[in-house]
Amino acid sequence: MINNRKHFSQSIAFGTFRFLSLMVAGILFAILGFIIYKGIGVINWEFLTTAPTDGMTAGGIWPAIVGTFYLMVGSALFAFPVGVMSGIYMNEYAPRGWVVRFIRVMTNNLSGIPSIVFGLFGMALFVNYLGFGDSILAGSLTLGLLCVPLVIRTTEEALKAIPDNLREGSRALGATKLQTIWHVILPMAMPNVITGLILAMGRVSGETAPILFTCAAYFLPKLPNSVFDQCMALPYHLYVISTSGTNMDAQLPLAYGTALVLIVIILFVNLLANALRKYFEKKVKTN
């Protein structure tokens, strides 16, 4: 009898857990389904490859796709060296003590700063003080700052996962610390570092606030020519055509189409991260 009651309460508990977990997955599917349902109608070759026309009420989103791509690459070029080198310093070089604790607390706080504040800071520093103007460069650096903490943390975790006896084995052969990191530790850590970086890029591609004052253009009829040009970007374009405009009825389907493209890009980036990690793991093992 008691056994039965225990069994019963256990079923209730696990049933609840399972229901809640499935609900989370369900929400994701609901969002995806909704966006696909609303957006798929406008997706065609022309939508993907032409610029908006008629005051954003027709045409495509090509400049925004290109702009988002530039911003992802630009912020990666900044966040990768800074984040990886900081991560290496913190895990391999820095003496355990208040300096490392201080840097870690600061990077954690950095990742907690609202993205709109990053935008303001980027405007003050990159756009105005350094004189880059509203540009891809300023936007990339701002987005780079935003995701540096993530890259540092994934780098640190990737390095921590490598057993100390490999470090000792290398040092015992007369290798310096730098040689050990370069030839043994980094090649092993790279799969996880790259995965972290690409996931960070996925996050960057969806950010709106940091590029609001630093880079994003409301409408540009042509593609940017240099890093000092402004560019359009998918999340900002989505924001623009769903909040302001002359013909909401015509714009709304375009907004859903834009959202769909953005989600597909992020999904693709995540899949790419997975594929790259598998590729690197294989390579490290046989090399």
Partner 1 sequence: MNKIETNNVNFWYGDFHALKDISLDIEEKSVVAFIGPSGCGKSTFLRLLNRMNDLIPNTRLTGDILIDGQDIYDKDIMVDELRKNVGMVFQRPNPFPKSIFENVAYGLRVNGVKDSDYIRHRVEESLKGAALWDEVKDKLKVSAYALSGGQQQRLCIARAMAVSPSVLLMDEPASALDPISTAKVEELIHELKKNYTIVIVTHNMQQAARISDKTAFFYLGTMVEFGETKRIFTNPDKIETQNYITGRFG
Binding site for partner 1 (CB under 8 A): 95-96, 163, 165-176, 179, 183-184, 187-188, 284-287
Minimum distance, C-beta of residue 88 to partner 1, in the bound complex (Å): 16
Minimum distance, C-beta of residue 161 to partner 1, in the bound complex (Å): 13
User: Which is closer to partner 1, CB of 104 or CB of 171?
Assistant: 171
User: Which is closer to partner 1, CB of 162 or CB of 263?
Assistant: 162
CA 31/CA 267 separation, integer angstroms: 13
Element (H, E) at 58: strand 58-59
CB-CB contact of 105 with 90 (8 Å) = no
User: Which is closer to partner 1, CB of 20 or CB of 172?
Assistant: 172
Minimum distance, C-beta of residue 86 to partner 1, in the bound complex (Å): 20
User: Which is closer to partner 1, CB of 134 or CB of 156?
Assistant: 156
> With the C-alpha atoms ordered 205, 206, 208, 209, is the resulting torsion angle positive or negative?
negative
Helix 234-243 × helix 62-88 angle, to 10°? 130
Minimum distance, C-beta of residue 118 to partner 1, in the bound complex (Å): 36
User: Which is closer to partner 1, CB of 113 or CB of 284?
Assistant: 284
Minimum distance, C-beta of residue 266 to partner 1, in the bound complex (Å): 31
CB-CB contact of 188 with 162 (8 Å) = yes
* Residue 244 burial by Cβ neighbours in a 10 Å radius (0-12, 13-18, 19+): exposed
